Amino acid sequence: MNFSSYILRRVVYALIVLVVIVTINFFIFRVMPGDPVRMIIDPKWTPEMKAALYEQYGLTKPLHEQFFIYLKSLLTLDLGLSFTSSRPVMDELLERLPNTVLLLGIALFIEILIGISIGIFAASKRGSSIESFVTGAGLFTHAVPTFFLQLVLLLIFGFVIPIFPIRGTMAAPPPVGGWAQFLDRVHHLILPVFSLVVINFGSWALYTRNAMVEALGQDYIITARAKGLTKKRVLRHHAFRSILPPIVTLIFLSLPSIISGAVVTETIFSWYGVGRYLLDATMKQDYPAAQGAFYFIALATIICNFVADIVYGLVDPRIRVGGGEGK
Amino acid sequence: MKKRGFWVNATKFCREFISKPQGRLGLIILGLFIFVAVAAPILTPYDPIDDLYLAEGMAKPAWAKVLPGNSKLPVTVHTRLGFNEWQVASGEDLHNAEEIKENAFAIKTTPGEFSKLVHDVNYKTDPPGNFHFETRYSIDASEETTTVLAFVIVDPNGKEWRLWEKKIFGSLKPQDLLIDSRQLDLKTRLGLTIFDEASKVIFAKKGQYKVLLRAYSEGEPAIITMEPVAVNIQGKLHGVLGADHMGGDLWSQLIYGARISLIIGIVAALIAVFIGTAIGIASGYIGGFVDEFFMRLADVMLSIPTMPVLIILSSLIGKNIWNVVILIALFSWTSTARIVRSQTLTLKERAFVEAARASGASKTYTMLVHILPNVIPLVFAALVLLIPGAILYEATLSFLGLGDPTTPTWGRMLHNARSFGAFTMRAWWWILPPGLAITLLSLSFVFIGNTLDEILNPRNKERA
């Protein structure tokens, strides 16, 4: 198996997942109680007017035809109009996307930086208290519900000691001037980012620590040490280098769950993002919006998984140079 | 022989489990939660969902009285005034009252004279929220007798507040009597406007109050039978954890939440593990197309963003706890399937399985009799490790307002806390307990699961 056929397989696989998700998305919203048109029409309308609306939305066509129309509109990224705002769902999502990317991106960057540093440090100091700290932080990630930690932070720093804003992406009305606006954005970002970092850095630290410990036990490390290289150099240039590929892959693999988690974080901090849009739309039974947001999130997930596979292929020489079974 | 081997193994296993501090700690925490879940009706007298208006909305916990600024807050009162609680006030006559059963009592009136039952209350705090009195009464008298019954509160200044009064001719079948401070006719009778709060006016002073039950009859003696009077005065201090926005008891919600979380976590994990084991064994043992299909299916499941899909699905078919449980299970089986599949693949090559196959055992028989018992220990650890995930999913869904509104869950408590102003009130007693409970319960399963995995997973044994 060479690299291009590996990519091809991954593309096909990503497409299969996409088709499954699109199909689920289509049928979920067709089997639910009530029908979408009923949500937007006035009860005073005559049956003829209702029929015209059904016609307009293509709901009189057979199901398979509706499905193909739906597929076509998804491929052209036309997600329809929101019932509640009557604006194109795609526009609404694109408007919110930068906020979500900003929040999740900054949080991910910081938690990886902190997590990996602590993980390496813990691996270099076996049996010290820093090791049990890393284990504890990893457990914390598993057992503490993110939303609970966020609520507690909100209670402490938003209400008891009100030093951070309790809701929103920026102040309303936004402050005048580029610098003031920037500071305002940062002010609103601190609490949600901090909560995500506190929850998640532990699992990065634990993973890095375990991978480092394993790497440090390898023969080539012992050789490097025997050559007289400093401990620091061996740690950085030999051991860490070797665990970098799986970590990079893991970063991409973690993106889907991070995107999933955005729903809760954005809801708690009233963040103007894609995740909260999905929940709001679901709550308001705004089906085109909910469906569109879900498609959007699922698409992002598939792309992240695909990129993770490609990165994995790139960093794993067995796949890149075409070793293994097929050669 | 085989049985004895099992017991020896079980004892050995238990001893090994107990020897690990993590396992011990996990068991202790879990035991505590199981105790709370089982003993819920003993630990709280209230129903977590149906008992509303027990206190004023957002009432603080009773122990908050010792905090500065709270000493004058009214405490909720829930009591029943039965025969033993009514007394003869000094200088008044208690006419012919007697206990009939279980604290219910009967008063026999003397025509032309007042019969009075009195209950003294020393009231030292600020006025309470609403109050209501509830009882059932009946009158047995001749046709010509007219009876007047009244329910009166006398304040420290001696002013009489006639809350209820009724003139009855002849006999009366058992009737409900309900006095609620919010009733309009009550306010009119007391000379208040509809905007006045009766409780604030009546209990404006601090000192000795009297609750008075007064009967008077003309003609012949009447016998008034009355059940104990249920008194509910909604205070601003209530119970162990205070009250929610509807005056519901937060402590009982916390206690009953343990039941629900345990059930949800365990049932969802059981279903997920069942699906995962079946698929894992089938994939591993049958292989070929079946394997390919199920493993690709698992991949697809992993590629679907779980939380968003759970949000959408539970908003469509949720609102019922079992639907939520099934949804969570459907998205949690993949990890078990993977573990079981790889274990099955190694078992398949073992001699005893080969022997079974050679002696003509069917595939189903081999899978059930030879493979299944050997993957069970592994599955057991996987089951315990799936529980915290299921608990967290359910808590998150409930927190987002997508749970079952008729089920008292911790997530729902937090949802209510967020939606109905616990944050602006800084009511940390409402926010912290359910969250800590979720965390501790999840943690106990993580501890137990890790310990089980350490003992039962063959991978760890080989390493050790």
Confidence tier at B201 by pLDDT (50, 70, 90)? confident
Q: Is A302 on the interface with B (CB under 8 A)?
A: yes
Q: Do B423 and A154 touch (CB under 8 A)?
A: yes
Among residues B168, B203, B233, the one where a domain terminates is B233
Q: Which domain covers residue B163, as residue numbers?
A: 77-233
Same domain flag for B94 and B225:
yes
B444 shares a domain with B389: yes
B451 located within any domain: yes
| Residue ranges of A 46-75 with Cβ closer than 8 A to chain B | none
Closest by CA position to B258, among listed B77, B133, B106, B440: B440
Cβ neighbors of B218 (< 8 A, separation 6 or more) are B111, B112, B145, B146
Of the candidate CATH numbers 3.40.718.10, 1.10.3720.10, 3.30.2020.10, 3.40.50.300, the domain formed by A92-321 belongs to: 1.10.3720.10
Looking at residue B95, its pLDDT comes to: 54
In the structure, what pLDDT confidence band is assigned to residue B101 with cuts at 50, 70 and 90?
confident
- Identify the weakest region by mean pLDDT among A202-216, B96-110, B122-136, B362-376: B96-110
Is residue B153 within 8 A of residue B210, CB to CB? The reply is: yes
Judgement on whether residues B355 and B209 belong to the same structural domain of the protein? no
Residue B60 lies in a domain: no
Q: Is A150 on the interface with B (CB under 8 A)?
A: no
Cβ contacts of residue B322 below 8 Å, gap of 6+? Answer: none
Task: Tell whether B274 and B422 lie within a shared domain.
Answer: yes
State whether A24 and B304 contact (CB < 8 Å). yes
Q: DSSP assignment, residue B65? A: G
CA distance A157 to chain B (A): 11
Whole-number pLDDT of residue A83 = 76
Average pLDDT over residues B362-391: 88
pTM beyond 0.90: no
Other CB atoms within 10 A of residue B44 CB:
19
End residue of a domain, out of B203, B233, B263: B233
Residues B286, B387 within the same domain: yes
3-state SS assignment for residue B304? coil
Question: Do B417 and B295 fall within a single domain?
Answer: yes
Q: Are residues B326 and B444 in the same domain?
A: yes
Query: What does the pLDDT read at residue A226?
Result: 85
| CATH number of B101's domain | 2.60.120.260
Identify whether B52 is part of a domain.
no
Chain A interface includes B264 (CB < 8 A): no
Quote ipTM for the complex. Answer: 0.86
List CB contacts (< 8 A) between B423 and chain A: 154-155, 158-159, 166
| pLDDT per residue as tens digits for the range B151-181 | 999 888 888 888 888 898 988 899 899 988 8
Residue A241 CA to residue B327 CA, distance in Å, equals: 41
For chain A, residues with pLDDT lower than 50 are 323-327
* Pick from B439, B338, B436, B435: nearest CA to B382: B338
Q: Are residues B349 and B227 in the same domain?
A: no
- Tens digit of each residue's pLDDT (9 = 90 or more) over A51-95: 777 776 667 777 788 888 888 888 887 888 887 888 889 999 999
Q: Which amino acid belongs to residue B435?
A: G
Neighbours of B245 (CB within 10 A): 17
Q: How far is CA A309 from CA A9, A207, A250, B76, B135, in A?
A: 10, 19, 10, 62, 72
Give the DSSP letter string of B149-195.
EEEEEE-TT--EEEEEEEEEES-EEEEEEEEETT-HHHHHHTT--TT
In a domain, residue B61? The reply is no
What is the pLDDT, as a whole number, of residue A326? 37
Token pair 């009773």 is found at B62
The reply to whether B30 and B101 lie within a common domain is no
By Cβ distance, the residue of B388, B414, B417 closest to A142 is B388
Q: What's the domain count of chain B?
A: 2
CATH number at residue B314: 1.10.3720.10
**So what's the pLDDT on residue B303?**
80
| pLDDT digits 0-9 by tens, B399-436 | 998 888 888 899 999 999 999 989 988 899 999 999 99
pLDDT for A324: 44
For chain A, state the CA radius of gyration. Answer: 25
CA–CA distances in Å: residue A288 to residues A18, A86, B81 = 18, 10, 59
Regarding whether B402 and B310 lie in a shared domain, the answer is: yes
Contact A78, A87 (CB under 8 A): no
* B464 has a pLDDT exceeding 50: no
User: How many A-B residue pairs are in contact by the CB < 8 A criterion?
Assistant: 118
Average pLDDT across chain B, whole number: 87
Whether residue B92 has pLDDT greater than 60:
no
Assign A2 to helix, strand or coil.
coil
Q: At residue B360, does pLDDT exceed 60? A: yes
Give me the pLDDT at residue A246, please: 83
> CA dist B231 to A193, B55, B87, B135, B234, Å?
50, 12, 16, 9, 10
Residue ranges per structural domain of chain A? 92-321
| pLDDT confidence bin for B116, thresholds 50/70/90 | confident
Return the pLDDT at A291.
87
3-class DSSP assignment, residue A168: coil
Whether residue A147 and residue B307 make contact (CB cut-off 8 A), yes or no, is no
